[in-house]
Amino acid sequence: MKSFLDLAALGPEEVADLLSLAVRLERSPEPEALKGKILALLFFNPSLRTLASFQAGMARLGGSAFVISPGQGTWILETRDGVVMDGTAAEHVREAIPVLASYADALGIRSFAGGADLAADLADSTFLSMAKVCPVPLINLESAVDHPCQALGDWKTMDDLGVPARGGRFVLSWAWHPKPLPLAVPAAVVHMAAQRGMDVTLLRPEGFGLPEPILARARRAAETSGGSLRETADRREALEGAHVIYAKSWASPVHYGNAEAEAAFRASLRDWCVGEDWFATTAPDCRFMHCLPVRRNVVVKDAVLDGPRSVVVHEARNRMWAQMAVLHRLLRKQGEER
Amino acid sequence: MKSFLDLAALGPEEVADLLSLAVRLERSPEPEALKGKILALLFFNPSLRTLASFQAGMARLGGSAFVISPGQGTWILETRDGVVMDGTAAEHVREAIPVLASYADALGIRSFAGGADLAADLADSTFLSMAKVCPVPLINLESAVDHPCQALGDWKTMDDLGVPARGGRFVLSWAWHPKPLPLAVPAAVVHMAAQRGMDVTLLRPEGFGLPEPILARARRAAETSGGSLRETADRREALEGAHVIYAKSWASPVHYGNAEAEAAFRASLRDWCVGEDWFATTAPDCRFMHCLPVRRNVVVKDAVLDGPRSVVVHEARNRMWAQMAVLHRLLRKQGEER
Amino acid sequence: MKSFLDLAALGPEEVADLLSLAVRLERSPEPEALKGKILALLFFNPSLRTLASFQAGMARLGGSAFVISPGQGTWILETRDGVVMDGTAAEHVREAIPVLASYADALGIRSFAGGADLAADLADSTFLSMAKVCPVPLINLESAVDHPCQALGDWKTMDDLGVPARGGRFVLSWAWHPKPLPLAVPAAVVHMAAQRGMDVTLLRPEGFGLPEPILARARRAAETSGGSLRETADRREALEGAHVIYAKSWASPVHYGNAEAEAAFRASLRDWCVGEDWFATTAPDCRFMHCLPVRRNVVVKDAVLDGPRSVVVHEARNRMWAQMAVLHRLLRKQGEER
């Protein structure tokens, strides 16, 4: 593994290796494993878990990290090629990324979707243009349509909790939100569940289906792994026998880039807020998952988050162990394994 | 000691233990004491000393720290319970705090007074609601009405300088300031001086007395320790024979939460700026203390701060040694003591 | 060496020692050299390379660093003496700097030119007033008219690339930019090239000559080292046989502090953007240097930056090795050398 850009790019053995290494690191600290190694973290967007868990994870392995946030103590960075830079951006990523990489052993980049051009976001063009100029191992800290660290951590959480892979019923449910959010987490998570071999249901109101390229990719993963993928707008049908509901809001692809039309389209859907009544008869033991941050009583009711079915803090903690496994594989030389 | 929320909660032996450990750490470095330990620092408000000294203190003990500042590279956090989160806050502290705690061995939180509701601020309700959801040792980095790290550091400073405990005369003086400031430092410091057994004088203009619950608590501490507490608006009387003047501004409780009325009430008090003339005949050797940050020629004149009676940098440095003692006691397992 | 404020203050042996130590550290890591040492970094202005490379450099030597950025999570700091602080600044550098120094083994400060008063900026008065109150080794991270870390790193880059010292032809060229930029880098770089013994040409449009005190100082360095210094507005003449062109924009001293007049004066000079046509016949192998951040297609064309003559990333990487040598000399006790 030279970089960690997309969980979908890894075969079953590679995923299993990362997951078992994550469990091992959780159980037996390796405080010298990455001694002297340095991770550069470049955040174009806000973060809590990623920001904290990568710093903590490097420290737990004996290494260190530094954080660069364009516009906050550092220059605004240009990502487009070929432009005349006489605006607000003082520096181009074509310089900034090789420079940061030259100080570090690996680089992590967070760069959310632009949210204006669906095709460009689906192509993950901004992130991939930065990946091209990065000469050291690169970690995707969330790009326009991917969030592999979240997906790997969530996979571990389901393993920890004994949620079945083959035959496990995974529901990804759209939820209401005041803003049109990116597709990165739903795209990463629906693929992860399919890749894990689960029976995946995408539950969403009409007009909020995930774009076809995302679904097609998840379907192919399901075919390979022995899982399945279906879509529905029927909550009761979706949750029947579900092991996991993973809630997340995302922008409607129908009005992508048109904030006003999108908001009007979304306006009547405030009842897409996960409550205990969703589970009552059909899925009493269903776990509640969310990548966080989550808006209480908007995406999910207090009663669900504060009750026993919520595993959101467990998921967040697993971000650290999963990422430590990735860092270990990227930064520890072969033959150094003890 | 499981957490460090309030110096007033500690008995004389516990305080003495922390102070002697602080002195020991100042004299003999222990660069491996907290090897591999991680401190998460959550700052809802600006900081200089706390931000710097906790990072430096962890590094000096062989550990590390990371900083999260809501709204600056991370999500704005909601602290109120039960709200529908469709405003600016993307995440609730009920998730954020357990998540940060899951990456770290201890957590520090700074959360200033709201400044609108005196009863809520006196109850320290926001800070305590966060403390309730924190599953690891917690350190109060300044809450609505407390600042135990400042109080412990200041206690050490007076010890270092040979300021007497029993019989020592400690004056906490109000000072003018362009803004209505929180009660945390005056509340913590008046209690600390009483707890140390000193004869404490609260010097303030009419209408700027500390709220009765703060005074009552300090009076009880004085009764236990053999100290005393009095209030006056007479500068000359207050400073007669004083060993220490501790200057600080705070909002008038009379107009709490009403910025306009408070400003008008304060307007005529700009002469409450500590100058060398305050000391001339009655307290020539009196030390000048302040928690910092301090506004020059507003709270105190240049001549005082730049002269030999000022010990403000000594106080700031002692923040680090005092906090290192707290971290050592919270994070080092019993039986690890060398 | 007690502090690192100005490369011009060092004699040839001291510079040679730092450069050879930088090369040694690049080749043979010394991960324990500064174990337990702490560097405080105080940034009044944005940064990318300095911010990242000092943190990475301390980590590579086994030490650690913390960052303070006034106004971003910490108080706005006053730098002027004698003022009544009833404005936005909550703290004065006369307190803040000794306090930060008390937590650390060395302090770095970045404080750009005010840009209003040329004489004050040329005297570097703000930076030097801060240096006066700093009780620990101080590093200049860029002041109003100096940037010694950049100069030392660039010296190393020319050594690495085999650019001759005696007889080496160094062109510092003004370039267009949408803003009037500080004189720090051109002043530091023109002096460094002269100090290195090179034949230095200052290429700039009329009205953009560097202020006489800067030129006079560089001329004296050239006299001592056997180099030379000339000025011209003729691009072809300047670049004839050049080994290096170092591009940089700076404000016209003629309209210093008058943004409107300066912008009008600069308006017609957008063709001062370094392109491949600058080199064609007269200097085909000329290296392109820039301190970064650089605005593409404003200061320099894509074709130059993306082509083989550009060494800007190499320069940035050398910031780290050069600074590690400085830190090593400042913080490692005599007799500790292995």
Quick: pLDDT tens for C234-252: 999 999 999 999 999 999 9
Q: Which residue of A has its CA nearest to C65?
A: A66
Give the pLDDT score at C334.
Answer: 56
Structural domain span for residue A50: 7-147+319-331
* Same-domain check for residues C110 and C168: no
* Same-domain check for residues A195 and A77: no
**What's the number of domains chain C is made of?**
2
At residue B337, does pLDDT exceed 60?
A: no
Look at residue B205 and tell me if it is in a domain. yes
Indicate the residue of C38, C86, C91 with minimum beta-carbon distance to B48: C91
pLDDT tens across the length of chain A (338 residues) = 999 999 999 999 999 999 999 999 999 999 999 999 999 999 999 999 999 999 999 999 999 999 999 999 999 999 999 999 999 999 999 999 999 999 999 999 999 999 999 999 999 999 999 999 999 999 999 999 999 999 999 999 999 999 999 999 999 999 999 999 999 999 999 999 999 999 999 999 999 999 999 999 999 999 999 999 999 999 999 999 999 999 999 999 999 999 999 999 999 999 999 999 999 878 889 999 999 999 999 999 999 999 999 999 999 999 999 999 999 999 997 555 44
Indicate the residue of C64, C94, C103 with minimum beta-carbon distance to B52: C103
**Region of residue A314 (phi > 0: left; psi between -120 and 50: alpha; otherwise: beta):** alpha
Interface of C with B (CB under 8 A): 35-36, 38, 40, 64, 66, 68, 72-75, 78, 82-86, 89-92, 94-96, 98-100, 102-104
Which positions in chain A touch C317 (Cβ < 8 Å)?
Answer: 99, 102-103
Report the alpha-carbon distance of residue C51 to residue A104 in Å, rounded.
Answer: 13
Q: Which residue of B has its CA nearest to A305?
A: B95
Look at residue C21 and tell me if it is in a domain. yes
Most B-contacting residue of C99, C100, C129 (CB-CB within 10 A), to test interface: C99
CA distance A328 to chain B (A): 17
A52-56 long-range Cβ contacts below 8 angstroms, 24+ apart: A52/B40, A52/B66, A52/B68, A52/B99, A52/B100, A52/B103, A53/A316, A53/A319, A53/A320, A53/A323, A53/B103, A54/A108, A54/A141, A54/A323, A55/B64, A55/B66, A56/A320, A56/B38, A56/B40, A56/B66, A56/B103, A56/B104
- Do residue C73 and residue B306 have CB atoms under 8 angstroms apart? no
Indicate the residue of A56, A178, A296 with minimum beta-carbon distance to B38: A56
CA distance C1 to chain B (A): 24
Which positions in chain C touch B51 (Cβ < 8 Å)?
Answer: 66, 68, 73-74
Instruction: For residue B282, name the pLDDT band (cuts at 50, 70, 90).
Output: confident
Look at residue C155 and tell me if it is in a domain. no
Which positions in chain B touch C94 (Cβ < 8 Å)?
Answer: 296, 305-306
CA angle C130, C133, C138 (to 5 degrees): 70
* Same-domain check for residues C136 and C240: no
Look at residue B152 and tell me if it is in a domain. no
Q: End-to-end distance of chain A based on CA atoms, in angstroms?
A: 19
- Do residue C317 and residue A96 have CB atoms under 8 angstroms apart? no
Look at residue A338 and tell me if it is in a domain. no
In tens, the pLDDT along C154-180 reads 999 999 999 999 999 999 999 999 999
- Do residue B86 and residue A295 have CB atoms under 8 angstroms apart? yes
Indicate the residue of B178, B302, B320 with minimum beta-carbon distance to C82: B302
φ, ψ for residue C232 (rounded to 5)?
-160, 160
Most A-contacting residue of C49, C61, C266 (CB-CB within 10 A), to test interface: C49
Percent of chain C residues topping a pLDDT of 90: 96
Which positions in chain A touch C298 (Cβ < 8 Å)?
Answer: 84-86
Most B-contacting residue of C61, C74, C81 (CB-CB within 10 A), to test interface: C74
* Same-domain check for residues B178 and B95: no
Look at residue B242 and tell me if it is in a domain. yes
* Same-domain check for residues A178 and A255: yes
Q: Edge-to-edge strands of the sheet including B244-248?
A: B228-232, B199-203, B169-174, B244-248, B287-289
Which positions in chain C touch B320 (Cβ < 8 Å)?
Answer: 102-103
| pTM (predicted TM-score) | 0.97
Which positions in chain B touch A248 (Cβ < 8 Å)?
Answer: none
Look at residue A243 and tell me if it is in a domain. yes
Report the alpha-carbon distance of residue A211 to residue A230 in Å, rounded.
Answer: 14
Q: Which string of DSSP letters, residue by residue, matches A149-174?
A: HHHHHHHHHHHHTT--STT-EEEEEE
Chains that touch C (3 or more CB pairs under 8 A): A, B
Q: Which residue of B has its CA nearest to C73?
A: B46
CA distance A98 to chain C (A): 7
* Same-domain check for residues A301 and A192: yes
* Same-domain check for residues A133 and A200: no
- Do residue A46 and residue B73 have CB atoms under 8 angstroms apart? yes
Interface of A with B (CB under 8 A): 29, 31, 43, 46-49, 51-53, 55-57, 59-60, 64, 67, 69, 72, 178, 292-298, 302, 305-306, 312-313, 316-317, 320
Give the pLDDT score at B247.
Answer: 98
Most C-contacting residue of B32, B47, B48, B323 (CB-CB within 10 A), to test interface: B48
* Same-domain check for residues A93 and A225: no
Instruction: For residue B335, name the pLDDT band (cuts at 50, 70, 90).
Output: low
Give the pLDDT score at B338.
Answer: 43
* Same-domain check for residues A117 and A140: yes
Query: Considering just the CA atoms, what is the radius of gyration of chain C in Å?
Result: 20
Report the alpha-carbon distance of residue C336 to residue C338 in Å, rounded.
Answer: 6
At residue C336, does pLDDT exceed 60?
A: no
* Same-domain check for residues C114 and C243: no
Give the pLDDT score at C338.
Answer: 43
Q: Contact B30/B63 with Cβ under 8 angstroms?
A: no
Give the pLDDT score at B334.
Answer: 56
Interface of A with C (CB under 8 A): 35-36, 38, 40, 64, 66, 68, 72-75, 78, 82-86, 89-92, 94-96, 98-100, 102-104
In tens, the pLDDT along B66-80 reads 999 999 999 999 999
How many C-beta atoms lie closer than 10 Å to residue A88's C-beta?
Answer: 10
Give the pLDDT score at B333.
Answer: 72
In tens, the pLDDT along C84-102 reads 999 999 999 999 999 999 9
Q: Contact B268/B201 with Cβ under 8 angstroms?
A: no
Question: For residue B229, what is the domain's CATH number?
Answer: 3.40.50.1370
- Do residue C47 and residue A94 have CB atoms under 8 angstroms apart? no
* Same-domain check for residues C143 and C170: no
Which positions in chain C touch A107 (Cβ < 8 Å)?
Answer: none
More confident residue, C132 or C280: C132
- Do residue A298 and residue B95 have CB atoms under 8 angstroms apart? no
Indicate the residue of C68, C73, C94 with minimum beta-carbon distance to B72: C73
Q: Which residue of A has its CA nearest to C321?
A: A103
Residue A145: both structure tokens together: 């349509």
* Same-domain check for residues C169 and C305: yes
Look at residue B155 and tell me if it is in a domain. no
pLDDT, averaged across chain C:
96
Chains that touch A (3 or more CB pairs under 8 A): B, C
